[in-house]
Amino acid sequence: MSNTTSDEELRKELIRLIEETRHQIPKKSEMKEAVIARSFIVFALGCFTGVEMYTINLFLTSKIEISLALLMFFFTIGFLIGVFVEKIDLLNIKNKYSHLDY
């Protein structure tokens, strides 16, 4: 009789541990939101740098064509940096929680 009781206790303990482990894993939607927010911040910084360079170049050279080209260049750089940060964060998140894959 005591053998079945200990088996039942072990089963309950195992179920409790599985539930605790499941609650530690972040939901995919939460991870995606965090990555998107970080990427947007980096992209916004790139855009801010582009507008800044556009303004400085416009005052220094007074050539709109060069200023617009630099503006587009820095918008592109901001976007690419945002994508890069997103990929790095995704890899870090996967590495961080890889031991919880089951």
- Angle of CA points 87, 75, 81, to nearest 5°: 20
pLDDT tops 50 at residue 1: no
User: Cβ atoms within 10 A of the Cβ of 71, count?
Assistant: 21
pLDDT tops 60 at residue 74: yes
Amino acid at 63: K
* pLDDT computed for residue 54 by the predictor: 73
* pLDDT computed for residue 102 by the predictor: 47
* pLDDT computed for residue 18 by the predictor: 84
Domain regions of the chain by residue span? 27-100
More confident residue, 15 or 56: 15
In the predicted model, what is the mean pLDDT of the chain? 74
Any idea which residue has 């541990």 for tokens? 17
Closest CA to 57 of 72, 44, 41: 72
Closest CA to 100 of 2, 7, 18: 18
Chain center to CA of 44: 15
- The predicted model scores a pTM of 0.46
pLDDT tops 70 at residue 84: yes
